[in-house]
Amino acid sequence: MKKQNVTAAIPEIRPGQSIELLKELHILTRDGKLNQDSRRKLKQVYHLAQFIEPLLDGMETLVDHGAGKSYLGFILYDLYIKSRASGEVIGIESRRELVEKSCELAQRLGFPRMRFIASTVEEALASTDLPSSVDVVTALHACNTATDDAIRFALSRQARHIVLVPCCQAEVAATMRARKAESLARTPLAELWRHPIHTRELGSHLTNVLRCLLLESHGYDVTVTELVGWEHSMKNELIIASLRGKPRKNARERAEAILHEFNIEELAPRFTY
């Protein structure tokens, strides 16, 4: 009996997608089926990919920071890049065992224009293994200041587009917490972060606001939206920045004013360079 074509049997799977990759990502079961949970996961993957697809026009190099198992890089390569004559995806991950696993998977899938480097995001800033300019930089759930390092990397490499899903923004909240008594004596606004849960949430929000202002000060147009249906993580804020070449005039001044108002001016080197 003729074996049924998987993509025909499962309409959600797009023509030409690697079935082996979808199994590796646990989107398809080992026998090639799609259950309710994996169908939701596939929908989430497509939802994120649709934001990134327009940024890949003319792309030659995409660098994915804090890549983990490089699921994002593999999906983007499979959907949009493998059919092109050119285009490279580079995954940066500090855990060497994950880098080795990704190298093995890329070879097994026949994805020759994917490569992986064992490095922290901060180390990648000075790496000679990476090109001097890149087109797209992504950083999904790169914890705490690793997102800021990814931004710094993107700016240093003159990236045309930057895609961020920030995670675990603790540095700003920690600085606010350390100066809470001083801030409460100085301004009634400190009531906004007097309680620990408010410190954490406001610190996270301020971090992303300051990141957006930094990007705008370097000539990027910034869009902030939500990854709808991203149920596996509460951190679902998506920041997309595209280089337009004309800095927002007051972005740096606004960032400096916010740092002063919230008594965290010591963080200026991270957000106002």
Query: Which residues lie below 8 Å from residue 93, measured CB to CB, with a gap of 6+?
Result: 66, 67, 68, 70, 99, 102, 116, 117, 118, 119
Between CA 247 and CA 244 the distance in angstroms is 8
- Of 142, 164, 157, the closest CA to residue 224 belongs to 164
Looking at the domain assignment, is residue 96 inside a domain? yes
- Clarify whether residues 73 and 150 are in a common domain: yes
Boundary of a domain, candidates 162, 193, 214: 162
- Clarify whether residues 86 and 156 are in a common domain: yes
- Clarify whether residues 129 and 238 are in a common domain: no
Tokens standing for residue 80: 């949009």
- Clarify whether residues 62 and 85 are in a common domain: yes
Between CA 148 and CA 207 the distance in angstroms is 10
- Clarify whether residues 86 and 142 are in a common domain: yes
At residue 229, the pLDDT reads 59
Between CA 182 and CA 214 the distance in angstroms is 27
Which is higher by pLDDT, 259 or 32?
259
Q: Say if residues 89 and 73 touch (Cβ distance below 8 Å).
A: yes
Looking at the domain assignment, is residue 1 inside a domain? no
Looking at the domain assignment, is residue 188 inside a domain? yes
| Range 42-65 average pLDDT | 91
Which of the residue ranges 41-45, 47-51, 153-157 would you say has the lowest mean pLDDT?
Answer: 41-45
pLDDT in tens, 65-79: 999 989 899 999 999
- Clarify whether residues 122 and 186 are in a common domain: no
- Clarify whether residues 176 and 243 are in a common domain: yes
Looking at the domain assignment, is residue 141 inside a domain? yes
- Clarify whether residues 220 and 268 are in a common domain: yes
Boundary of a domain, candidates 134, 162, 190: 162
High-pLDDT (> 70) share of the chain, %: 93
| C-alpha distance from residue 20 to each of 5, 92, 110, 216, 236 (Å) | 13, 23, 11, 41, 28
- Clarify whether residues 202 and 126 are in a common domain: no
pLDDT at 26 over 90: no
pLDDT at 2 over 50: no
CB neighbours of residue 236 within 10 Å: 17
At residue 31, the pLDDT reads 81
- Clarify whether residues 182 and 237 are in a common domain: yes
Looking at the domain assignment, is residue 30 inside a domain? no
Q: Total domain count for the chain?
A: 2
pLDDT in tens, 133-183: 999 999 988 777 889 999 999 999 999 999 999 887 889 999 999 999 999
Looking at the domain assignment, is residue 23 inside a domain? no
Q: Per-residue confidence at 4, pLDDT binned at 50, 70, 90?
A: very low
At residue 234, the pLDDT reads 56
pLDDT in tens, 178-237: 999 999 999 999 999 999 999 999 999 999 999 999 999 999 999 999 886 555 555 689
What is the pTM (predicted TM-score) of this model?
0.90
- Clarify whether residues 180 and 236 are in a common domain: yes
- Structural domain containing residue 190: 169-273
- Clarify whether residues 205 and 107 are in a common domain: no
Between CA 70 and CA 128 the distance in angstroms is 21
Domain with residue 104: its CATH number is 3.40.50.150
Q: Per-residue confidence at 44, pLDDT binned at 50, 70, 90?
A: confident
| Range 82-95 average pLDDT | 95
Looking at the domain assignment, is residue 14 inside a domain? no
Looking at the domain assignment, is residue 236 inside a domain? yes
Boundary of a domain, candidates 137, 162, 187: 162
